[in-house]
A = this chain, B = another copy of it.
Amino acid sequence: MTGADVVLTLDLLGTVTFALNGAMTASRRVRLDIVGVLSLGVITAIGGGLIRDVLLGATPPAAFQHWYYLAAAFAGAAAAWVIARPPRGLHRAIVVLDAIGLSVFCVTGAHKAVELGLQPAPAILLGAITAVGGGTIRDVLVGDVPSVLTSELYAIPALAGAAVAVLAGGSAAAAAPAAVVGAVLCFAIRMLGVRFDLHAPARDPEA
């Protein structure tokens, strides 16, 4: 496998897991029909990439140009409809898979932003937007305040992973190792956050 193969494999793995997790999360909150479950799964999986590609002017977005993205997203969302109510053990697996998706998307998003000429700061931001964008659209559609805004370490690991990918991946030779290190760092921070229930500092609204 070449480096590009590795990135594509990870990207598709992230797409499947985001679709699975997105569809399940949405189903737990509101009554949805099969169209809703599939739509929210697919949107969670490809939404971040759509925002990234639209903001970069890279249209039509990758998800609409290569069949395997939509296929992976529909497969994950369909699996969520079939499984319906995951047993406890699977919930833990889903958290891990979601963290993999987060880690992959933050570095691939940041990498694409750099390739298309963005400066480091907006490229890091766009990497994080790619990672959290799909889940944010899903939360808005089901009427929730996006969880990324309120709790847990979710955006911070994505920003950290994207920062490593951008700042250490300056040369062509360094891009692949920087992406791997960035993704691993994001995954590590995210899982530590889940394991020790870490949260970013928060403030309650005025009484």
Contact = CB atoms under 8 A, between A and B. Distances in A.
Contact of A155 (B39, B60, B156, B203): B39
Interface of A: 27-37, 39-40, 50, 54-57, 59-61, 63-65, 67, 70, 84-85, 116-119, 121-122, 125-126, 136, 140-146, 148-151, 154-156, 199-206
Contact of A55 (B50, B148, B149): B50
B140 A205 contact: no
Nearest first, the 3 A-B pairs at minimum CB distance are: A57-B59, A36-B149, A64-B122
Nearest to A69: B122
B60 A60 contact: no
Contact of A57 (B28, B36, B60, B149): B60
Contacts of A136: 141
Contacts of A56: 59-60
Contact of A201 (B33, B202, B205): B33
B150 A85 contact: no
A148 B54 CA distance: 24
Contact of A140 (B63, B125, B141, B151): B141
A31 B204 contact: yes
A202 B28 contact: no
Contacts of A40: 149
A36 B146 CA distance: 9
A156 B36 CA distance: 11
Nearest to A81: B203
A204 B201 CA distance: 34
Contacts of A84: 203
Contact of A32 (B85, B144, B149): B149
